[in-house]
Amino acid sequence: MKMSSAIRAALVALTAFAGLSSAADADDGFVSLTIYKAGWIIGGSGGGGVLNFRGRSYGLSAGGLDYGLVFGGSRTVLRGRVSNIYRPSDVAGVYGAAGAGLAVGRGARAIVLTNQKGAVLELTGQQVGLMANADLSGLAITMK
């Protein structure tokens, strides 16, 4: 039995529309995190914050490890956008980064991270303390 070209075209259009609508359901939220970091060669970080998503607030915990040239201690307050999330739990996951920096007193920070669920964090803020680093780091964020 042959399928008419009009029916075939309608099915292709419907399939394409269904794919686009699921991508359009992704939303953005606002994240604020306070991270405390300390180390000597191997470092650790921990802290917490809040996710604001679709009019509600959700508590976050953050922690991680750094390996490379890590020296000192700092407190960093980051704020920014999280994109490509469907539900609050999409923010939870492991974010990895390679970076270098130096903070003596106050310094500015900006970072873009992606987790295994596709959530993208775009954060900026202030780092206070004495910290020198050229390292690989991982940050795990969990919901409280």
If one counts every other C-beta atom within 10 angstroms of the C-beta of residue 95, the result is 21
Within-domain flag for 73? yes
Question: How far is residue 124 CA from its own chain's centroid?
Answer: 12
**pLDDT value at residue 136:** 59
- Give the pLDDT band of residue 48 (cuts 50, 70, 90): very high
- Is position 14 within any domain? no
**9 found inside a domain:** no
Could you read off the pLDDT of 78-90 as tens digits, one per residue? 999 999 999 999 9
CA 36 to CA 129: how far, in whole Å?
A: 10
Query: Does 2 map to a domain?
Result: no
So what's the pLDDT on residue 70? 77
Distance set, CA 39 to CA 127, 128, 140 (Å): 15, 15, 17
Return d(Cα 34, Cα 61) in angstroms, integer: 9
pLDDT at 119: 95
The Cα–Cα gap between 84 and 101 comes to 28
* Cα 141 to chain centroid, rounded: 8
pTM: 0.74
Domain that holds residue 36: 26-143
Q: Is residue 96 part of a domain?
A: yes
Q: Looking at the 3D structure of the chain, how many domains does it have? A: 1
User: Is 12 a domain residue?
Assistant: no
Which CATH number goes with the domain that contains 125? Answer: 2.40.128
Please indicate whether residue 129 or residue 9 has the higher confidence score (pLDDT).
129
| Rounded CA separation 51/88 (Å) | 8
